[in-house]
Structure 1
């Protein structure tokens, strides 16, 4: 795998360290975190390199009208969230690549918009825990190659791939995932001419570039020590997860549409991979997936790599067709 490096604080995989788990050492950095409460084996946690907040999450992002955005290429991926009664929001992956979490409020609802490049998991969560707003940052720790988030209110640790509290006061709490999806900027803009797009953050980062060149065609996930997925599926193949079921991207792409288990999945070309070319806009076409129920309502889902689904859903159901 070819990884680019930058003088600025890089994304989590770059300069990664695989130091052994050491809760005693962690307690010095995290004095407010209750390490006696956990749902995981600490041996599965490694340092990704940057320290706590070394990858800076975004708080109170600025947004601009979609019609005024001129920096994004039509093929660039964005993470879309639509809230009833509000203008649709697009969060460009060119920014999430370098910040991984955006804390926002849409229609009075606090949300955490998240993206872990190493797992390709892009999800929007209701940021309330027991009715109280929480804000999230990047811990600098990884488990099964997936980002561990933390909340600023209790310093609890959360596994991004499943939205579950794994260490601290909120261990075993689960964030509610909201319907959100990856699509191309052109698709979002054409469907939402009055929509909003997150403005470029005021940080010195190589926005628009991909620091994980060729990652999604690599032979092995970065900083992953677990099992490969079953059925001979490539660990870095994209899959579409809905709860504990998963469909392979390859099957959906070949079919165009799949209707199974009360879920309707559609694929269409036009979206660039964020994890292929040095320049995100020039990534190969991986297309856009939409996931709805039989009544046409958008469903919460994710498009992780196959290894990540297997790691966090070892008993998950693989919808492979005949």
Structure 2
């Protein structure tokens, strides 16, 4: 599997560099305004393999009571969205790893629940903007190995890890990240007995299987040619990003809880890595993190790979405890 990723990366780097030009994209993206961009060079954008919508986003998914769901193993990760008095909703990574974006509405708030497997970035955005409510799809393009989303209204391109429009009419616009988190299915079910879970989509996919077997054990990420992270942190080590600061997950796990920079980060066991073994449920223990402010309120954050934090926040603070 590691050799396969290396071969694919080499091929895609060669072909991607040759086709990183709006002239070659226009037939697929006739509505995208390529005269507007914030990326320094088109060469930063590479094809991830699938075409536009080749990875199909999910719109208005069906839900079922958490107590009635029997297909999901307790160790599997879910993204929990809890807004106002609406019942908490769990979005299983077993579905997001195949679809990457879910457009939904929770407690009256239009949201985009997103997961980029290549960066382990699982963040939820408010779809309301100054330009109206946007719906998102998967472009099939990558930058720094991170998914580039697109909005269906203007077909502008958005960097998933940052929630930032980088190409097109809305270049420079930013989505508001919501304070959601990733936890194990067993934890969600025990904590929110009245909660809801996204039902299995009606697509021919091997839900519960990880198509990126062994990915988070690689030395280098797929289609990434940037420098390794500082401080000797492995490229695919998980860090917890809060704003422009990142804490190594290993440090939080060792401490159990840390309070720094005005936030408290706590770790608990029971959650498997979705990017380890072929079966998500059998992935190695990585645990789950909650991030709260001084008043105990949940804060927006992301548990992402170290290389992605370094790529998108090059001036960010590394909270390594030295």
Q: If the length of structure 2 is used for normalisation, what is the TM-score?
A: 0.95
Q: How far apart are the structure 2 equivalents of 1:114 and 1:316? A: 22
Map 1:20-39 to 2 at 5 A: 20=17, 21-39=20-38
Cα offset, 1:3, TM superposition = 8.4
CA deviation digits over 1:100-122, x for unaligned, max 9?
00000111110000000000000
Residue 4 to residue 84, structure 1, CA distance change in 2 (3 Å) = farther
> In the alignment, which residue of structure 2 is the partner of 1:127?
127
Query: What residue is the counterpart of 1:171 in the other structure?
Result: 171
SS at match of 1:189: helix
Q: How many residues matched? A: 315
Deviation at 1:259, TM superposition (A): 0.3
Shift of 1:129: 1.6
Instruction: Write 1 or 2 for the structure with the bigger share of helix.
Output: 2
Determine if the alignment matches structure 1 residue 291 to structure 2 residue 286: no
Distance in 2 (alpha carbons) for counterparts of 1:308 and 1:169: 25
Asked if the contact 2:9–2:223 (Cα under 8 Å) also holds between the matched residues in 1, the reply is: no
Partner of 1:113: 113
Quote the Cα distance in structure 1 between the aligned partners of 2:255 and 2:224.
31
Contact persistence 1:14–1:49 (CA under 8 A): no
Does the aligned pair in 2 maintain the 1:47–1:140 contact within 8 Å? yes
Give, in angstroms, the shift of residue 131 of structure 1: 6.0
Deviations 1:9-34 (A, max 9, x none): xxxx8998332202101112101000
Q: Distance in 2 between matches of 1:215 and 1:311?
A: 19
1:263-274 correspondence runs (5 A): 263-274=263-274
Aligned mates of 1:16, 1:125 — CA distance in 2: 33
C-alpha RMSD of the superposition: 1.6
- Between the aligned partners of 1:310 and 1:24, the Cα distance in structure 2 is 30
Whether the aligned pair in 2 keeps the contact of 1:4 and 1:211 (CA below 8 Å) is no
Residues 205 and 4 from structure 1, CA distance in 2 versus in 1: closer, same or farther, beyond 3 angstroms?
A: farther
* In structure 2, C-alpha distance between the alignment counterparts of 1:211 and 1:3, rounded to whole Å: 15
The unaligned stretches of length 5 or more in structure 2 are none
Distance 1:114 1:4 in 2: 26
Q: Which runs of 5+ in 1 are unaligned?
A: 6-12
The correspondence of residues 122-201 of structure 1 with structure 2, limited to 5 A, is: 122-130=122-130, 132-201=132-201
